[in-house]
Amino acid sequence: MSDIIQLLPDHVANQIAAGEVVQRPASVVKELLENAIDAHSDHIKLIIKEAGKTLIQVIDNGVGMSVTDARLSFERHATSKIRAAEDLFEINTKGFRGEALASIAAIAHVELKTKQENAEVGTEIKIEGSEVISQEVCVTPKGTSISVKNLFYNIPARRNFLKSNAVELRHIIDEFHRVVMAHPSIRFDMYHNGSEVFNLPSSNQRQRIVNIFGGKTNEKLVPIKEETDLVAIGGFVGKPEYAKRSRGEQFFFVNDRFIKSGYLNHAVNAAFEGLLKDKAHPSYFIYLKVDPKSIDINIHPTKTEIKFEDEHALYAMLRSTIKHSLGQFNVAPVLDFNR
Ligand code: ADP
Ligand code: MG
C-alpha cells in the first residue's frame, strides 16, 4: 500500500479559490472597492481599460499598509479584519475571508503601491501568478493603489469565455452602483479607457441615487423609515406609477452591504399589492441596519446572500413600513369615509 495524498502547493490552492471569488472583471472591481472602503478611505478612484480585461486599478486614500502587511496581504487566509472564530458573528467590515488578494494575484499581474500616513516611504510589490516578482521602496501618497492587469492570463478557458467589452462593462457598472449606493458619503470616480464615467461627490443616500439614476429619479422616491429593536429601515421606494417592466432598480443594503433576497423582495411586492399594473416591478432602494450578531454573511464567497436570525419579523416590518409610507404620500388609493 502506498500513500497518494498531498497538500496542494499554495499557488494551486489560490487558483482554485479564485474560481469561486473571481468570475469576471466585475468581481475584481467589487473586491478592490470593498478593500478600499474597509481601509477608511473617503475618496476612491476606479480606473479600467477594455472593460477590465487589460486593467482594473483602484486608488484609495485610506490607511495603507506596512511593508510586512503589504506582502502578507497576498497570502491566503491573511486578513486584518477578524482574529477568531467568534468574530465571524459580528462582522463590521466588507471583507473578512482573507482570500480576495491571494485569489486575484493567482490569476493576474498585480502591482500594489501602499503607504501608511506616518511612514516616510511606501512599498511597491509586483506579483504574477502568485509569485512575488519584486518588492521595493517607493514614493507614493498615503493610501493604496492596486493594479490588476491581464486577468485570467494563465487560465485561457476563463479568458476566452469573457463576454464582449459592452457586457463586461455593464457588469462592472452594476457592481459599482451597488458599492457606491451602499456608501454615499465616500467620494467615488470611475474612468474607462481614459474617459470619466462617474464623478460622485460625497453626499447622502437620496443624492447618490439621483446622481446615478438621473435627475428624474428624485420626484419618484418615497422615503421609508422605521426603527425597532430588530431593525432600522431607511431608504426609498419608487412611486407605483414609476414601476417598470424590468427589475433594474431593486436594491437591498444590509449594514452597508448590497444583498439579494427573494424573500424580502416578496415583502416589498406584498406592500405594493393592488397598486401595480400586471408584471410591473416596483423600484426600491432599501437600507436595513441590524445587529451584526443577528445575521450570517458567511454563506457564500461573494457575500451577496445572508441569513437573518428573524426573517419572518423582518418581512412583516418591511411590508407594513412600505405600505404605511405609500399611504402617507397619497400614492395608494385612500378610502374616504366622509362620503
Ligand atoms: P479581506 O478583505 O477579507 O481581509 P483581502 O485578500 O481582500 O482579504 O485583503 C487582505 C488584507 O489586505 C486585508 O485584510 C487588509 O488588511 C489588507 N488590504 C487589502 N486592501 C487594502 C487597502 N486598499 N488598504 C489597506 N489595506 C488593504
Ligand atoms: Mg477584501
Give the least confident one: 2-11, 50-59, 61-70.
2-11
Query: 24 alpha carbon to ligand 1 midpoint, in Å?
Result: 20
CB 143 within 8 A of CB 64: yes
Residue spans of alpha helices (H) in the chain? 10-21, 25-38, 67-72, 100-106, 156-160, 165-182, 205-213, 262-271, 311-328
> Which position has the higher pLDDT, 333 or 38?
38
Q: Which ranges in 39-121 belong to alpha helices (H)?
A: 67-72, 100-106
Percent of the residues in the chain that have a pLDDT greater than 90, as a whole number:
81
Task: Write the pLDDT tens digit of every residue in 185-212.
Answer: 999 999 999 999 999 999 999 999 999 9
Residues around ligand 2, an ion, CB closer than 5 A = 35, 95, 100
- In the predicted model, is pLDDT for residue 19 greater than 90? no
Query: Is 97's C-beta closer than 6 angstroms to any atom of ligand 1?
Result: yes
Domains and their CATH numbers in the chain: 10-200 (3.30.565.10), 216-328 (3.30.230.10)
Run of H or E including 288: strand 284-290
Which set of grid coordinates corresponds to residue 277? 399594473
35 lines ligand 1 (CB under 6 A): yes
pLDDT of residue 319: 97
Please indicate whether residue 36, judged by its CB atom, sits closer than 6 Å to ligand 1.
yes
Q: What is the CA radius of gyration of the chain?
A: 22
Ligand 2 center from residue 318 Cα (angstroms): 30
Q: Which pLDDT score is estimated for 162?
A: 96
Name the closest ligand to CA 104. Answer: 1
Calpha distance 123→104 (Å, rounded): 19
* Strand pairing report for 284-290 and 195-200: unpaired
pLDDT exceeds cutoff 70 at 334: no
Contacts of residue 274, defined as CB under 8 A and 6 or more positions apart, other chains included, come to 333
Alpha carbons 222 and 233: distance in angstroms, whole number: 13
For a pLDDT cut of 70, what percent of the chain falls above it? 97
- Ligand 1 binding pocket includes 60 (Cβ within 6 Å): yes
Q: Is the CB of 74 under 6 A from ligand 1?
A: no
C-alpha to C-alpha distance for 169 and 277, rounded to whole angstroms: 32
Q: DSSP 3-state assignment of 155?
A: coil
Q: Is 201 helix (H, G, I), strand (E, B) or coil?
A: coil
pLDDT at 16: 87
Q: If you average pLDDT over residues 86-103, what whole number do you get? A: 91
Grid cell listed for 272: 405594493
Task: Pick from 38, 42, 67 the residue to mutate for probing ligand 1's pocket: most ligand atoms within 8 Å of its CB.
Answer: 38
For residue 38, what is its C-alpha cell?
A: 474597509
Residue 294 has a pLDDT of 92
DSSP code of residue 7: P
pLDDT digits (tens, 9 = 90+) for 132-165: 999 999 999 999 999 999 999 999 999 999 999 9
Q: Which atom of ligand 1 lies nearest, measured to the CA of 73?
A: 12
Question: Is the confidence at residue 247, as pLDDT, over 80?
Answer: no
Q: How confident is the model at residue 242 (pLDDT cuts 50, 70, 90)?
A: confident
- Residue of the nearest CA to atom 12 in ligand 1? 73
